Amino acid sequence: MSVFEASVSLDGADQDRLFKWGVVLDGPQGTNFWGIPTEVHDANSADRYRQFRLKGGGAGPQVERYYFTYLRRLGANKQLGPGWVSPGLHFAIWAPNARNVEVVFGDPATGYIANDGTGVDPNQPVVALSHLADGTWVGDPDGDYELFKSLPYMYRIVNAQGQTVYRTDIFSAARLGVATSILAGSRGAAP
């Protein structure tokens, strides 16, 4: 695993200024190619830059964190929080242009959820996800991780055009029918 870190000193006179930055890479795929694989929060743009606003008046340095991989950040992940007796389940999906995102579970016998919602198991909870400022939607169903192990699920998304669509979890390691399935052990306990 590669880790890159950069420290940049900025002038306090630039307080409240918006800074945009990117990464250009050279590698086996070629030279000078765009190295940030995610999009900006504009459905009509193909730009790949990151940005931040310089804040002023803080007691310490301003720290900005950016992730170049979403392994263990997105998808269905087992998590164990401080003081928890047993692990829970955490969902996260990056959908910056979505209007709403929920997790729905399918019938374990078929794993199939149709585009019209047929196949959603009414006996399982619908997990409403909350929208974060970085375009990620997150949420946790009530209950231990073990209650959800091997259940098929999909993301029910109201997209930017107002249409309800069902999408699989591209970060899942298992597929069952059309839906994805929560594996025994998922990808380990991730923070």
pLDDT one digit per residue (tens) for the chain, 191 residues: 455 677 778 887 888 888 888 777 787 777 877 666 555 667 777 667 778 888 876 667 787 776 655 556 788 888 887 777 888 888 999 899 999 999 999 988 887 888 899 999 999 999 999 999 888 999 999 888 888 888 889 999 999 999 999 998 887 766 555 555 555 444 443 33
β partners of residue 137: 93, 131
Q: Cβ distance 67 to 32 under 8 Å?
A: no
pTM of the model: 0.61
Reference 98, options 46, 185, 164; nearest CA is: 164
Amino acid at 34: W
Reference 124, options 137, 143, 110, 138; nearest CA is: 143
Q: Cβ distance 102 to 155 under 8 Å?
A: yes
